[in-house]
Amino acid sequence: MPHVTRRRTLHIVGGLLGGMIGLALLLSSMFPLPHPKPYSTLIEDQRGRFVHAFRASDGIWRLKTLPAEIPPRLKRILLAREDRWFSYHPGVNPFALARALYQNLSSGRRVSGASTITMQIARMLEPKERTVGNKMLEILRAFQLEWTYSKDELLEMYLSMVPLGGNIEGLQSAALIYYQTPLERLNVAQLFDLMLIPSDPNGLRPDRNGEALLRERMLQAKRWLAEGMLTEADSVVLWNTPAAAERHALPRGAEHFALRLARRLPGTAVVHSTLDMDIQRKVETLLANHLRPWRLSGVQNGAVLVVENATGAVRAYAGSGAFADDASQGQVDAVMALRSPGSTLKPFLYAMQIEAGELTPRTVLLDTPYDAEGFYAENYDGGYDGLVHADEALQRSLNVPMVRMLKRVGLDPFEDFLAKEGFVSLQQQRGRLGLSMILGGCGVRLDELVPAFASFPRGGVWRPLRWTEDAPGDPSQEVPVFSTATAYMVTHILSGLERPDLPNNFDYAFTLPKVAYKTGTSYGRRDAWCIGYSSMYTIGVWMGNVTNRGNPDLVGSRSAAPLLLDVFTSISSIAEKGILRPPPNIRTRRVCARSGRPPGLYCSQLIDDMFIDRVSSTAPCTVCTEFLVSTDGKVTYCASCVGSHPYAPTVYAQYPPELVHFWKMHGVNKTLAPPHDPACTRVFAGEGPTILSPSEGMTYFITSPGQQIVLQAGSSVDVQDHRWYVDDTYLGKKRPGEKVFIALAQGPHTVACVDDRGRLSSVSMTVKNAM
């Protein structure tokens, strides 16, 4: 019989529990738990130091507060004061609730609320008028919270949401706003005050009612001192620390960086960023000081981005000289602005050609006037060298050799190469770019240029920028773009101390680490760039006006390079005396001084050159050629016409026709092979004249009646005459380099030029009326 009774009792209890659980589930579905309140966003640097904070979306300062940030003994006081049984009850303390109900009924008024910490959280999540119905809902919410969150999570919510005066919630917010000190560094009196303020958030505010807060502190502290939870040493601090405190604005460091991270990670309570505030402060100071004299000249803006090579982490980010400077539009983030890159893309064209085996530092490039598809390329200083070595062309940032190289490579392959380097902006401009892109005829961003240049010190591997410390780099996002040997060769060129674009006051020899860099100046002097890298960092500097106003003094080597070198000197170790170790396939060989190619049979003037084993071209020099020269030195013969003529085998350099024409036009005397015997009747194979104008595939617009188009071609020294044709109509005979002027009707035309050896060249063009 007792066994049956126990079984019946268990059934009844089980039924009651099941009914209660079912009722709770029903009520939870009818009254779902409100979402937690949004936190303010706190940006910390890589070492956990405060950088910037943003109010929560509801306008409240509600910084996340962790229980671990409060000393254990003060946490015990807080729990003893607010909810002694917090760790044990299910959200509601039934004994405290019964006691409060009895006291309130006995006195006829509300004298006790019996609210647990969990019930207080429920009230903070859903503030309502204090009625019996709302109290029952608060109890339901307390149960729901306990079912949903752990005790540590609930305590974290309480510490982060507790009201502390005005729009300040949470102990961490109050610590920073009232005391300008992180919570974990407050003294016992300040922490104790923060525990007292929630009982009367406006009446005990330290910035308004410091005396009232001090009285409450003295009153409450006596109890905890008597109970031994506060020590005699604590009492000294409690009696001697003023309670009054001013409300302060939170520090606003690295504003552009912080705004960018807040947009990238909306709703994130604490962002452990990659920023290094020590480096950030140095960069901001150097940028502000550098801009001060330039502003007198009309250059108002600048930006600096510092990236750690090994990780891709952003260590410093200055989007302007001063964020609060409205006069210079300091709130515009120039790191993200789309600007003309000037010459800063040239190293990537070199890397592409070196990787393909087509270029080495001492390769000889052509530097003469060049009309490419209607784009007339010229160098920065308006002059031409005729011939120049590749390393010197990049160090001097010559334009014409680069345009010729890009024409030979092709726009599409180069744009594909740059896509691997993370230039998203350029991919959005595809189809609208021409050869001028290598000189800055496109738009890129500083935060694209810097990670692209960082691929050089990484040995050819591109990696996206890293913004937070708790998001380690994803190896799957790394893109191998070129080899370590190519990276080493470009770095060798860009780190030469004999460069002409070193600042005039260059005196960094003993303090500056080994740095490779490239300057750039955009058309119209609107942008000045300098992007450089050491073994540890890659740094980008931009100078200009965000209004796009040009300035005649704005040049990369004078405006941006000095700041770049100052930043490197400030943040780098003196021990950094190298960037990349030479890989085993980097070697040295002798090449012809006239072509930069491995010597052919007739090359006599040789120089040293760096090359990549099994990659760099081994095709021999074709410039140095043996000619059969008449004994009087006036003509050359070929096998068809030499006959019984006396001759002497003589080696001459055989240069491109446009170079010979350039030298002739500029009065440069070069020892060239004599012309070929005019009596020779052989029809020669090979390339015909080099048509300099018009350009292949171009459309020419006629803007005035009778406007004429110029025809011009160059040839080698053995050519005496050119014969010109337009649409099979013979125009006449001219000497190489001599111009022909002709007015053409609208429509497509074919222009042909035949030299006196029967070799033909032709181009197609179109004429349109623009009048």
Residue 618 has pLDDT above 50, yes or no: yes
**CA 762 to each of CA 191, 730, 734, 755: distance values in angstroms, whole numbers, following the listed order:** 87, 13, 16, 12
User: 566 in the Ramachandran plot: left (φ > 0), alpha (ψ -120 to 50) or beta?
Assistant: alpha
Average pLDDT over residues 371-397: 87
DSSP per residue, 235-293: HHHHHHS-------PPP--SHHHHHHHHHHSTT-SEEEBS--HHHHHHHHHHHHHHHHH
What does the pLDDT read at residue 510? 55
**pLDDT: is 271 or 757 the higher one?**
271
Rounded to the nearest integer, the mean pLDDT of the chain is 89
**Calpha distance 17→9 (Å, rounded):** 12
Strands 375-377 vs 461-462: parallel, antiparallel or unpaired: unpaired
Contact 469, 338 (CB under 8 A): no
Average pLDDT over residues 63-71: 92
Question: CA-based angle 170:172:176, to the nearest 5?
Answer: 120
What does the pLDDT read at residue 541? 98
SS3 state at 461 = strand
> SS in 3 state form for 374-425?
CEEECCCCCCCCEEEEHHHHHHCCCCHHHHHHHHHHCHHHHHHHHHHCCCHH
What does the pLDDT read at residue 111? 46
What does the pLDDT read at residue 308? 97
Condensed to tens digits (0 to 9), the pLDDT of residues 310-361 reads: 999 999 999 999 999 999 999 999 999 999 999 999 999 999 999 999 999 9
Residue 372's beta-bridge partner residues? Answer: 375
Q: Which of 422-426, 638-642, 743-747 has the highest mean pLDDT?
A: 422-426
Neighbours of 432 (CB within 10 A): 9
Strands 647-653 vs 636-637: parallel, antiparallel or unpaired: unpaired
Residues of the chain by 3-state class (helix, strand, coil), percent to 5: 35, 20, 45
Residue 588's beta-bridge partner residues? Answer: 610
Identify the residue whose tokens are 């505030």. 277
Burial 615-643 (b: 16+ CB within 10 A, else e): bbeeebbebbeebbbbeeeebbbeeebee
Average pLDDT over residues 195-224: 94
What does the pLDDT read at residue 504? 52
Strands in 709-714's sheet, in edge-to-edge order, are 690-693, 709-714, 740-742
Contact 610, 363 (CB under 8 A): no
What does the pLDDT read at residue 759? 84
Average pLDDT over residues 650-667: 88
Average pLDDT over residues 535-546: 97
**pLDDT: is 10 or 393 the higher one?**
393
Contact 756, 720 (CB under 8 A): yes
Condensed to tens digits (0 to 9), the pLDDT of residues 558-615 reads: 999 999 999 999 998 766 778 999 999 999 999 999 999 999 999 999 999 999 999 9
- Weakest mean pLDDT among 96-100, 205-209, 433-437, 550-554: 96-100
Residue 246 has pLDDT above 50, yes or no: yes
Residue 15 has pLDDT above 90, yes or no: no
Catalytic residue among 343, 436, 455, 572: 343
DSSP per residue, 623-641: SEEEEEEETTSS-EE-TTT
Query: H or E element: which one contains 732?
Result: strand 729-734
Sign of the CA dihedral 348, 352, 353, 355?
Answer: positive
Contact 621, 595 (CB under 8 A): yes
Average pLDDT over residues 702-728: 85
Whose CA is closest to 479, among 465, 462, 495, 494? 462
What does the pLDDT read at residue 701? 83
User: 513 in the Ramachandran plot: left (φ > 0), alpha (ψ -120 to 50) or beta?
Assistant: beta
**pLDDT: is 100 or 540 the higher one?**
540
Contact 152, 67 (CB under 8 A): yes
Long-range contacts of 660-665 (CB under 8 A, 24+ apart): 660/714, 660/715, 660/716, 660/717, 661/368, 661/692, 661/714, 661/736, 661/737, 662/368, 662/369, 662/384, 662/386, 663/386, 664/737, 665/737
Residue 7 has pLDDT above 70, yes or no: no
Condensed to tens digits (0 to 9), the pLDDT of residues 220-241 reads: 999 999 998 999 999 999 999 9
- Enter the DSSP assignment of 356: T
**CA 160 to each of CA 191, 274, 479, 508: distance values in angstroms, whole numbers, following the listed order:** 14, 25, 42, 50
Condensed to tens digits (0 to 9), the pLDDT of residues 461-498 reads: 999 999 999 876 677 789 999 999 999 999 999 997 56
Active site residue 343: yes
pTM of the model: 0.85
